[in-house]
Amino acid sequence: MDILLILIILIVPLIAQSSVKSNYEKYAKVKNSIDMSGYEVARKILEMNGLSYVKVNKTYGELTDHYNPKTKMINLSDRIFEEHSIASVAVAAHECGHAIQDKEAYSFLRFRSAMVPTVNFTSKVASIVVLLGFILQFGDLIYIGIFLMLASLLFQLITLPVEYNASARAKKQLEQLGFIEKKDKNGINKVLNAAALTYVAGFLATAAQILRLFLISRNRR
């Protein structure tokens, strides 16, 4: 059981990240049929949904794309922002999906946003508490750390419908605008599905880590 849990913790996220990177690199090199950049696609989708006030900003890095509900800003990595690739269309549309969720007060997005301060705190404290529990041989302290880790697990669980729903909205918006040509559809689906799987992998890895710590702590009693 311990070996299985370790494999889940270490291997599953690596496989998911590898899938994201390979699909991203593949379709970042394939020009989209509409000959538009990620920025242009984002602006079209936002304007069609009455979100012209949402800014689209270029940020550095790779796969650093995200929507900030507090600032009402979509941040696209430089390649997604500038290039006319299938990956640019998929990622930009996905982030617009989050902006639409925000406008419509999508419940899971609101709940996830409300949890951010709590999760930021518990994620920093949990590992310290667990470590101290093992060092001091104090089992109850380990359980407190595990309980704190459950906040991160809940956050990741809530993130799953948020991300899958944003991808579904992205595909719908692209179809309504006529931005999905038949030859682009497969690539767009692969980019979006691979990205969503990273969240599934993260959830499984965190769940496995919590279960492993619980079993180790129980066996030490």
**Residues known to be catalytic:** 95
Backbone angles phi, psi at 186, to 5 degrees: -60, -45
Paired with 48 in beta bridges are none
- Look up residue 24 and give its amino acid: Y
Helix axes of 139-176 and 107-135: crossing angle, nearest 10 degrees: 150
Neighbours of 203 (CB within 10 A): 20
Take residue 44 and report the two structure tokens written for it: 């079209």
Query: How far is 103 from 67, CA to CA, in rounded Å?
Result: 12
Residue 207 contacts by C-beta under 8 Å, 6 or more apart in sequence? 153
Residue 174 contacts by C-beta under 8 Å, 6 or more apart in sequence? 41, 45, 89, 93, 180, 188
Query: How far is 219 from 120, CA to CA, in rounded Å?
Result: 30
Take residue 161 and report the two structure tokens written for it: 């419908």
Q: Using an 8 Å Cβ cutoff, are 80 and 72 in contact?
A: no
Q: Using an 8 Å Cβ cutoff, are 91 and 38 in contact?
A: yes
